[in-house]
């Protein structure tokens, strides 16, 4: 978290227009108050943005507080959030006092020491000075807590968790399934051609090569069966990929401390098993394809 800026103190300079009465120019005080408010608002916006970013990253982990290191991180983050709320409250007090200043100086170009507004202005100066001091102290506290949370996150949380890059895995699985689909389309054409060849050879060669023709038919049935099973497994792989993709709606990573970890671990195991089955089916299809070609060659085809 960036080092917090220090708000400058308000210096309300008066001008003496006579030997007895002092005056403050209303426009000058107004400008100084607005500068202070703008600095405080910009500072709080920066702090709030960085805290919200830290909270978002922490919440994205979706970790159970049954883990002591997660519970500790949550407590530190809540304390940090409460400190930021205090800063906003202090800033709001200054803004409220500015609105009060605008109200009691409405239509007044300058405030004289002999007017009712003089006492009100002294009260405004005192309150703003006090709240600026409070803001600076709390801002230092917020910075210290932010640094403490960051150190705790790096030293106590990250070493205890693993994660998977969900988007990367989903893209890898998608590409793998796409390649298998292309292979299935190729198999479909090849197996259909095998089927027609086998029918023709069996019809013409059974009397001459009865055993080879029987083996050829068996290999034809086997390769068709392996192909049909491959398509079913591919559908299962697509379903598992769809489940994995659903987890990717609002998160880039899944952490081992997350309640989603078991889900993704199961899906990963299913996909790994399916990939092994797919490879086995592809190997069997290739084996039967080789055997069919060998039998055809033996029968002169």
Mean pLDDT over 174-199 rounds to 85
DSSP 8-state class, residue 250: S
Q: Do 189 and 80 fall within a single domain?
A: no
Q: Do 168 and 120 fall within a single domain?
A: no
For the entire predicted model, the pTM comes to 0.62
Distance (Å, whole) CA 138 – CA 140 = 5
User: Strand, helix or coil at 15?
Assistant: strand
Distance (Å, whole) CA 63 – CA 79 = 18
Q: Are 128 and 33 in contact (CB under 8 A)?
A: yes
List pLDDT tens digits, range 8-52. Answer: 333 334 444 444 788 899 999 999 999 999 999 999 999 999 999
Domain enclosing residue 149, as ranges: 15-160
Task: Count Cβ atoms below 10 Å from residue 14 Cβ, excluding itself.
Answer: 15
* Sheet strands (E) in the chain: 15-16, 22-25, 110-112, 163-165, 253-255
Number of helices (H), then strands (E), belonging to the chain: the values are 6, 5
Select from 124, 141, 160 the last residue of a domain.
160
Predicted pLDDT at 6: 39
Span of 104-118, 172-186, 219-233 with lowest mean pLDDT: 172-186
**pLDDT at 282 > cutoff 50:** yes
Q: Do 150 and 201 fall within a single domain?
A: no
List pLDDT tens digits, range 69-89. Answer: 999 999 999 999 999 999 999
Predicted pLDDT at 237: 81
Pairing of strands 110-112, 22-25: antiparallel
Predicted pLDDT at 252: 76
Element (H, E) at 4: none
Select from 128, 160, 192 the last residue of a domain.
160
Distance (Å, whole) CA 100 – CA 72 = 42
**pLDDT at 296 > cutoff 90:** no
Predicted pLDDT at 76: 94
Q: Do 211 and 277 fall within a single domain?
A: yes
Tally of domains within the chain? 2
Predicted pLDDT at 17: 41
List pLDDT tens digits, range 117-149. Answer: 999 999 999 999 999 999 999 999 999 999 999
| Residue indicated by tokens 């081992």 | 256
Query: In this structure, what token pair is assigned to residue 34?
Result: 């607005």
Predicted pLDDT at 248: 65
Q: Do 57 and 98 fall within a single domain?
A: yes
Span of 8-12, 102-106, 163-167, 251-255 with lowest mean pLDDT: 8-12
**pLDDT at 7 > cutoff 50:** no
CA atoms within 13 A on the CB side of 61: 24
Mean pLDDT over the full length of the chain: 85
DSSP 8-state class, residue 112: E
Cα–Cα–Cα angle for 73, 91, 129, rounded to 5 degrees: 120
Distance (Å, whole) CA 129 – CA 199 = 99
Binned at pLDDT 50, 70 and 90, residue 91 comes out as very high
Predicted pLDDT at 9: 38
User: Strand, helix or coil at 260?
Assistant: coil
Pairing of strands 163-165, 110-112: unpaired
Predicted pLDDT at 15: 42
221 lies in some domain: yes
Q: Do 140 and 186 fall within a single domain?
A: no
Binned at pLDDT 50, 70 and 90, residue 266 comes out as confident
239 lies in some domain: yes
Predicted pLDDT at 104: 95
234 lies in some domain: yes
> What is the chain's Cα-based Rg?
38
State residue 230 phi and psi, 5-degree precision. Answer: -60, -40
């Amino acid at each position: 978290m960036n080092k917090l800026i220090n708000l400058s103190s308000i210096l309300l300079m008066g001008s003496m227009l006579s030997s007895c009465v002092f005056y403050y120019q209303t426009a000058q005080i107004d400008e100084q108050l607005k500068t202070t408010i703008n600095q405080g608002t910009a500072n709080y916006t920066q702090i709030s943005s960085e805290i919200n970013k830290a909270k978002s990253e922490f919440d994205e982990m979706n970790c159970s507080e049954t883990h002591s290191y997660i519970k500790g991180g949550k407590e530190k983050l809540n304390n940090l959030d409460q400190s930021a709320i205090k800063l906003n409250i202090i800033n709001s007090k200054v803004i409220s006092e500015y609105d009060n200043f605008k109200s009691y100086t409405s239509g007044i170009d300058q405030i004289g020491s002999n007017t009712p507004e003089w006492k009100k202005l002294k009260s405004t100066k005192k309150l703003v000075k006090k709240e600026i001091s409070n803001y600076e102290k709390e801002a230092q506290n917020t910075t210290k807590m932010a640094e403490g949370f960051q150190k705790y996150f790096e030293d106590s949380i990250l070493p205890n968790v693993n994660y998977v890059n969900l988007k990367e895995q989903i893209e890898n699985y998608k590409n793998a399934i796409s390649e298998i689909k292309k292979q299935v389309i190729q198999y479909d054409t090849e197996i259909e051609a095998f089927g027609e060849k086998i029918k023709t050879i069996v019809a013409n060669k059974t009397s001459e090569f009865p055993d080879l023709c029987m083996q050829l038919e068996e290999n034809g049935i086997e390769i068709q069966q392996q192909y049909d099973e491959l398509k079913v497994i591919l559908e299962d792989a697509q379903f598992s990929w769809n489940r994995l993709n659903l987890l990717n709606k609002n998160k880039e990573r899944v952490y081992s401390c997350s309640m989603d970890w078991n889900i993704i671990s199961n899906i990963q195991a299913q996909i790994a098993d399916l990939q092994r089955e797919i490879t086995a089916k592809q190997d069997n299809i290739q084996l039967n394809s080789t055997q069919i070609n060998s039998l055809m060659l033996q029968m002169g085809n």
